[in-house]
Structure 1
Amino acid sequence: MINDSSRKRKFRYRSMGVIALLTAAAVLASACAAPGSKGAATVSLAPKAVKTEAVKKQKISNPIEQVADVAAGTTLDVVSKANGEVLSVVKKRGEYVEKGEVLFVIDNKDALSAQRKSQLALKSAQESLQQARDNKVNNRKDLADNVARSQTALTNAQQDYNKTRNDFDAGTVVQHQVDQMKQALDNAQMNLDAAQSKLSAFDNSDSISSAQTQAESASLSLEDATRSLENYEVKAPGSGVLTDFNVVVGQTVSAAAGKVGQVQQIDPIKIKTELTETNYQLVKGKQELVFYNPDTPDKKGTAKISYLAPIMSTATKTYTLELEVPNSDHGLQPGNRFMVQLTTETEEQVVSIPTLSVIREESDTFVFVEQGDQYVKRKVKLGRISGEFQEVIDGVKDGEKLVISGQNTLKDGQKVESASASPAATTTPAAK
Structure 2
Amino acid sequence: MEREGNMATRLNRKKDDLVRTTGKFVSHKTGLLLILTAIALAGCSNEAQLSSATTAEQTAGVTSKPVKTAAVTTQAWAGAKTLTADVIPSLELNVVLKADGDVKSVLKKRGEQVQKDDVIIELDNKDLLRQKQKLLYARASLEEQLSKAKKDWDDGILELTNNIAITQQSLDDATKQYNRVLNDYDTGQATKEQKEQLESQVKPLKLNLQTLQQKLQTLQNTQPLAAIQYQLQANDIDLQDADVNLSYFEVKAPASGLLTEMPIEEGMTLARGQKVGVVQRQSPIKIRAEVTEADLPLVQGKQSLSFHTSDSPDTYEGKVTYLANTANTQTKTYSLELEAANENGRLKPGMRVQLLLAGGGEQQVISVPTDSILREDGEPYVFILNGDHAEKRTIKLGRSKDDMTEITQGLKAGETLIVSGQYQLKHMEKVAPGQ
TM-score (normalised: structure 1): 0.60
Contact 2:291 2:334 in 1 (8 A): yes
Aligned to 2:31: none
Aligned to 1:293: 309
Give the Cα separation in 1 of the matches to 2:164 and 2:330: 86
Residue 274 of structure 1, aligned match among 290, 306, 326: 290
**Is residue 128 from structure 1 mapped to residue 145 from structure 2 by the alignment?**
yes
**Is residue 322 from structure 1 mapped to residue 337 from structure 2 by the alignment?**
yes
Note the alpha carbon deviations across 1:216-243, whole angstroms, 9 max, x for none: 2223322322332332232222222222
**Residue 178 to residue 276, structure 1, CA distance change in 2 (3 Å):** farther
**Is residue 98 from structure 1 mapped to residue 126 from structure 2 by the alignment?**
no
**Residue 159 to residue 273, structure 1, CA distance change in 2 (3 Å):** same
Contact 1:122 1:222 in 2 (8 A): no
Note the alpha carbon deviations across 1:31-70, whole angstroms, 9 max, x for none: xxxxxxxxxxxxxxxxxxxxxxxxxxxxx97554211111
User: What residue identity is the alignment partner of 1:69?
Assistant: D
Contact 2:103 2:123 in 1 (8 A): yes
Q: Quote the offset at 1:86 in angstroms.
A: 1.9
**Which structure shows the bigger proportion of residues in helix conformation?**
2
Deviates more, 1:216-225 or 1:111-120: 216-225
Q: Quote the offset at 1:71 in angstroms.
A: 0.5
**Residue 225 to residue 343, structure 1, CA distance change in 2 (3 Å):** same
Residue 334 of structure 1, aligned match among 342, 349, 352: 349
Give the Cα separation in 1 of the matches to 2:189 and 2:300: 118
SS, match of residue 203 in structure 1: helix
User: What residue identity is the alignment partner of 2:224?
Assistant: S
**Is residue 152 from structure 1 mapped to residue 158 from structure 2 by the alignment?**
no
Identity of aligned residues (%): 38
Contact 1:118 1:225 in 2 (8 A): no
Aligned to 1:221: 238
Q: Quote the offset at 1:169 in angstroms.
A: 1.8
Aligned to 2:277: 261
Q: Quote the offset at 1:133 in angstroms.
A: 2.1
Contact 1:125 1:218 in 2 (8 A): no
Residue 102 of structure 2, aligned match among 85, 98, 121: 85
Give the Cα separation in 2 of the matches to 1:149 and 1:335: 92
Residue 311 of structure 1, aligned match among 314, 326, 337: 326
Q: Quote the offset at 1:320 in angstroms.
A: 1.7
Give the Cα separation in 2 of the matches to 1:205 and 1:279: 81
Where do 5+ consecutive residues of structure 2 fail to align? 1-76, 363-435
Q: 1:31-70 residue pairs with structure 2 within 5 A?
A: 64-70=81-87
**Residue 156 to residue 313, structure 1, CA distance change in 2 (3 Å):** farther
Contact 1:129 1:215 in 2 (8 A): no
**Residue 200 to residue 282, structure 1, CA distance change in 2 (3 Å):** farther
Q: Quote the offset at 1:281 in angstroms.
A: 4.0
Contact 2:87 2:285 in 1 (8 A): yes
Aligned residues: 287
User: What residue identity is the alignment partner of 1:164?
Assistant: V
Q: 1:161-240 residue pairs with structure 2 within 5 A?
A: 161-240=178-257
Give the Cα separation in 1 of the matches to 2:134 and 2:199: 64
Q: Quote the offset at 1:72 in angstroms.
A: 0.8
Contact 2:323 2:337 in 1 (8 A): yes
User: What residue identity is the alignment partner of 1:124?
Assistant: S
TM-score (normalised: structure 2): 0.60
Q: Quote the offset at 1:179 in angstroms.
A: 4.1
**Residue 279 to residue 151, structure 1, CA distance change in 2 (3 Å):** farther
Contact 2:316 2:340 in 1 (8 A): no
Q: Quote the offset at 1:271 in angstroms.
A: 0.7
